[in-house]
Amino acid sequence: MAGKIRIEMNRAGIIAALKAPGVQADLLRRGNAAASAAGPGHMVTARVGATRVRVSVITATPSAKRAEAVDRSLTRALDAARRG
């Protein structure tokens, strides 16, 4: 009979991985890909939070806001961020 297996999560290590420069670079690349696919006027921002890196893509100009409101340009660009 197999013995019990105990798994102990290394929380500090997981957080370090989620904030690692390589993860930030990958997220930024994905954010830039989505912004590029969405068209002009989209801005990418990165922020290192308490437990992870977050990258956002936003409509930064009136024309980009209108493109999302009318054509869903940023929503349609989500797949660009999925590509490896």
Partner 1 sequence: MAYIALFPDAAERIADAIQVRHRAAFGSALVTTNRTPSPRPAEFVKVILVGGTQRDRVTDVPTLAVEAWAATRSRAAALAQEVRAVIASLEGATFAGYTVQDVAEFAGPGDLPDPLSDQSRYTATYAVTIRSEIAVNIT
What is the binding site for partner 1 (CB under 8 A)?
A: 66, 68-70, 72, 75-76, 78-79, 82
- Rounded CA-CA distance 34/77 in Å is 5
Closest CB to partner 1 among residues 21, 73: 73
Give the shortest CB-66-to-partner 1 separation in angstroms.
6
Q: Are 34 and 77 in contact (CB under 8 A)?
A: yes
Alpha-helix residue ranges (DSSP H) falling in the chain: 11-18, 21-38, 62-71
Closest CB to partner 1 among residues 14, 78: 78
Give the shortest CB-77-to-partner 1 separation in angstroms.
8
